[in-house]
Amino acid sequence: MARMPIIAGNWKMNKTPGESVAFVRELTPKIADYGEVERIVAPTMLALSAVAAALRESPVQVAAQDAHWQVDGAYTSQVSAAMLTPFVDYVIIGHSECRAFLGETDENVNRKAKAILAEDLHPIIAVGESLAQYEADETLHVVRSQVIAALEGLSAGDMDRVVIAYEPIWAIGSGKSASGEVAEDIIRSAVRDTIAMLHGDDAAESVRIQYGGSVKPSNMEEFMSQPNIDGALVGGASLDVDDFAALVEIAARVKGS
C-alpha cells in the first residue's frame, strides 16, 4: 500500500504571529509544487488563526501543538479540539516535552486522540523512549506500551486518520538522532506490528509513521529511504525556510510516487 509522505514542522514556542505569517508566505512558494507530499506547519496557539488565514488558498496544512479532551469547561489555559476545527487539520499530542514538563499521561493522550477524531481532525500521536530506557534496552516495551495506550478504544477504521510520530526523547533537540536502520527497526517492530496486533494488517499498513528527533537535510534521506518511515515530525529544522523546503524536496524525491 502506498502511503503519502507527511512532513510536519513543529515550531514549539517559537515565532510571533507576525513572524509566523511572514515565514509561511516565504515558505509556501518553495514547497507548493510537491503535491505528492503532505506539508504541515504547527505554529503556537496564538498564531494559529493568522497562519490558517495566510494558508487558506495554499496546499500547506496547519496543525495545533496540543488540544484538551473536553469540548469546553473550567480548564484554564486549555483549548479544545472543537475550538481548533476552523483553523487546523492536525493536532500533535503526546509529545515528549508535554509528557516531561506538563504531566501528560498515556491516559490523557488517548482521551485527546478520541476527542480529535470526534471533530474529524487527525491526531499526530508522538511516542518515544528516554535515554535511560534506550540504554536499558527497554525501547520496544516502552514504545509498544505507549502505542497500545494511545489507541485504546479506537477502531480499525480510525487508523486511516491517525499518524504516529516515533521520537526518541534522547534525540530531540540534542543534535543526535537514531540511525535510519535503528529507527526503521523500532518503527516496524514497536509501532506498525503493534497496530497490526490491535487492528489487523490492513489498518497497520494504512497508518503513516513519522520519525522525529534532530531531523535535518543532511540525514533526511537516510530516514526516508526506510520502508516503514513515511515522513518526519521536525523541530529545529522546520524553523528555517530553506531547511524545511529541503526536507520536503527530499521526501518527494525518495518517497513520492
Question: What pLDDT sits at residue 171?
Answer: 74
- Of 104, 167, 222, 249, catalytic: 167
Q: What is the pLDDT of residues 129-177, one digit of tens each?
A: 988 898 899 999 999 999 999 999 999 999 999 999 999 987 776 666 6
For the residues 8-24, what does the mean pLDDT come to? 98
Helix (H, G, I), strand (E, B) or coil at 93: strand
Question: What percent of the chain stands above pLDDT 90?
Answer: 90
Taking Cα atoms as reference points, which of 176, 108, 100, 178 lies closest to residue 139? 178
For the residues 222-231, what does the mean pLDDT come to? 97
The dihedral sign for the CA sequence 153, 132, 230, 86 = positive
Taking Cα atoms as reference points, which of 121, 41, 43 lies closest to residue 80? 121
* 167 included as an active-site residue: yes
For the residues 53-59, what does the mean pLDDT come to? 96
Helix (H, G, I), strand (E, B) or coil at 13: coil
Helix (H, G, I), strand (E, B) or coil at 103: coil
Q: Contact, 195 vs 154, CB < 8 A? A: no
Taking Cα atoms as reference points, which of 241, 237, 235, 229 lies closest to residue 251? 229
Question: What pLDDT sits at residue 236?
Answer: 95
For Cα atoms 90, 92, 98, give the angle at the middle one, nearest 5 degrees: 160
- Of 38, 68, 95, 104, catalytic: 95
Q: How far is CA 239 from the centre of its chain?
A: 15
Extended beta strands in 121-217, E state: 122-127, 163-166, 208-212
Q: What is the pLDDT of residues 172-212, one digit of tens each?
A: 766 666 789 999 999 999 999 999 999 999 999 999 999 99
* 249 included as an active-site residue: no
Mark 132-144 as b/e (b = at least 16 C-beta within 10 Å).
Answer: ebbeeeebbebbb
Considering the chain, what is the average pLDDT of its residues? 95
Quickly state the pLDDT bin for 215 (edges 50, 70, 90).
very high
